[in-house]
Structure 1
Amino acid sequence: MPRISPPLQQEKLGRELRALRTAAGLTIAQAADRLHCANSTVSNMENGHTLVTPGYVRDVLDVYDADEPTRRRCLDLLTDAHRKPWWHPQYRRVLGRFVVYETEARLLRYWQAQVVPGLLQTLDYAREVIAADRPWEEDGLVQLRARARIARQWVLTDEADPLVVDAIVSEEALRRPVGGPDVMAAQLTRLLDAGARPTVSVRVVPRSVGAHAGLTCSFVLFSMQDLPTILYREGGIDEIVDAGLGVAEEYERRFEHLAGVALPARPSAELIESIREEFVCTGRALA
């Protein structure tokens, strides 16, 4: 399955069409007049909010006097935008904007202060985390969210184009007894296995570091092809923030700081194994 995110292809097409309109020296109102449509139609198309037909895109390209390579590129984007997302229909209800960017990201930089990163979780661990985070939800919906989280992990093992992950996690998150010792032992084994993959790096910020730039937040940075870095920020209300707004730059600096205080990969793996053994041998992580 190709790592193509149709909603993201739609956004890319919108950016292309906006750039073409600007290069043609047309305002939204002027473009709408030539296309015999409402201003909002042009605006929604450029913002990626409206999935248009091939015939309409050809009309737009004619008005903007696009050259042949540009026409092919735009029509290819439109073809991909009309694909069915891999998460439809089974997980559409429980997967939001995060998966739109994760599916096509070239590099994903994780900082997790509280739990193991979602892409590296086991099913049992994911179910416990989601149930604790959403105690009002029915068990069936919790189960669906957990299965969706595991389904997302195919991007790590895609043979043709695996996602590169640089994950940094706090030692506290690894010691938190989510679901009991058996769940934690299996989860830490999974983390070690993931870190052994050539495209996945797992590093730990030890408790001995004390205060650091990741104490009050968890976040993910998506590095995309042909798009600025995208920030996903957790805490209270989770949100996606486009780096074009300048906000993600601060979090890139935070990640650099965390990378500087985290243990290297091998000592991190040794610490994870040590904590895993504590859960196996004593039923808990030692203080």
Structure 2
Amino acid sequence: MAWPERELHPGRSARDFYGAEIRWHRKNAGGMSLAALAQIVCFSKGHLSRIEAGESKVPEGLSEKLDVAFGTDGSFLRLYELASREDFPDKYKRFMELAEQAIGHEAYETTVPGLLQTADFASAVLQAGEPFAAEEEIDDWLTKRLRRQDRLSRQPSPCRYWFILDEGAIRRPVGGPAVMVVQLTRLLHASRLQHVTIQILPFSAGAHSEIGGSLTLLTLPDRAVVAYEEGSRSGHLFEETDEVLHRQALYDLLRAQALSPRDSEAMISAALEGTTDALPRRDARPVAEE
């Protein structure tokens, strides 16, 4: 059974328009499938599907191949000049723009926040989240994620950060013990910065309002607050006062359920010690065969 094609929104952004043009030309080329086009342009079907839906940045080299495949005489190459300027899909773009301006950033996360991730940890998370993505896509996402971390050390007035992390963020061995040792060390260093607070929401807290998702509150320079909720595959930005106040109240409950910053640091230290113990010992000797 064929899966229904995703709805496109060509008027939303240059990236979305580029993707809609791919579909339009496919349909007018005898109903060409994505799989057939993927073979022609030497890109994976999954990668092309995300580009067509406006979810992935248009990579270099694709436009020329599309112009040849559809006989469009350079129109995709011209569109690329606009679409390539958009680093993020439209649904994340405004949130990212507001995050750059924020003077206060509060977030509950089920994993280590992107702003605090090491390169190896971030790479492992991205690969797990999009297991069918092309290597160049992962590299592109990783570069952008690490670049955004400059906000943590922005001077002279850095943003005030408050992170509440599910205990699973420090227990789940993402990337293996060696990667986790470096990542947990990074968390400890971040927790000691004056403008960063980290709390752990322990498993013992039980069920809560954000289980299975994440919640971010951004305080803007004019003191207005916006909220952003995200699941594994979608997110929504809330700017209406009532909606934001509701989510601020939910975040306050999470803050009350979480361990204190001092106890959270102790839990991270204990997790680091346990993970370090799990590393292969360099001086370990193989057991002699009988």
**TM-score category (smaller protein):** 0.5 to 0.7
Q: Secondary structure at the match of 1:103?
A: helix
Partner of 1:108: 105
Task: Give the SS at the match of 2:101.
Answer: coil
Deviates more, 1:118-127 or 1:95-104: 95-104
Q: TM-score, normalised by structure 1?
A: 0.64
1:98 alignment partner, one of 87, 95, 98: 95
Equivalent runs, 1:111-150 vs 2, <5 Å: 111-113=108-110, 115-150=111-146
Deviations 1:70-109 (A, max 9, x none): xxxxxxxxxxxxxxxxxx9788257733320111101000
Asked if 2 retains the 8 angstrom alpha-carbon contact of 1:230 and 1:242, the reply is yes
SS at structure 2 position matched to 1:165: strand
Q: Is the 8 A contact 1:203 1:264 kept in 2?
A: yes
Match of 1:167 among 163, 168, 173: 163
In 2, the alpha carbon distance for the partners of 1:278 and 1:178 equals 14
Contact 2:213–2:232 under 8 Å retained in 1: no
One-letter identity of the residue aligned with 1:160: P
For residues 127 and 233 of structure 2, the distance between their equivalents in structure 1, rounded to whole angstroms, comes to 17
Question: 2:212 aligns to what?
Answer: 216
TM-score (norm 2): 0.63
Superposition RMSD in Å: 2.2
Identity %: 30
For 2:97 and 2:152, the matched residues in 1 are separated by 15
Distance in 1 separating the partners of 2:100 and 2:127: 25
Instruction: Measure the CA separation in 2 of the matches of 1:156 and 1:150.
Output: 11
Q: Are the aligned partners of 1:241 and 1:248 in contact in 2 as well (CA < 8 Å)?
A: no
- Any stretches of 5+ residues in structure 2 without a counterpart? 1-82, 281-290
Query: 2:251 is aligned with what amino acid?
Result: F
CA apart distance, 1:248: 2.1
For 2:249 and 2:114, the matched residues in 1 are separated by 22
Alignment of 1:227-246 (within 5 A): 228-244=224-240, 246=242
The whole-number CA distance in structure 2 between the counterparts of 1:91 and 1:273 is 40
**1:231/1:248 contact within 8 Å kept:** yes
CA distance in 2, matches of 1:112, 1:161: 24
| Matched positions, count | 196
Paired residues of 1:91 and 1:144 also in contact (CA < 8 A): no
- The worse-fitting range, judged by mean Cα deviation, of 91-100 and 116-125 is 91-100
**Shift of residue 237, structure 1, vs aligned partner:** 4.0
- Cα distance in 2 between the residues matched to 1:93 and 1:256: 30
Q: Does 2:235 match 1:248?
A: no
The one-letter code of the counterpart of 2:262 is R
Does the 8 A contact of 1:122 with 1:186 survive in 2?
yes
Deviation at 1:143, TM superposition (A): 1.5
Task: Work out the CA distance in 2 between the residues paired with 1:236 and 1:245.
Answer: 25
Distance (whole Å) between structure 1 residues aligned to residue 240 and residue 250 of structure 2: 17
Residue in structure 1 matched with residue 179 of structure 2 by the alignment: 183
> 1:233: how far off?
1.1
Deviation at 1:271, TM superposition (A): 0.3
Q: Matched residues in 1 for 2:271 and 2:233: separation?
A: 31
Measured after TM superposition, the shift of residue 126 of structure 1 is 0.7
For 1:253, what is the secondary structure of its paired residue?
helix
Distance 1:123 1:90, change over 3 A: farther
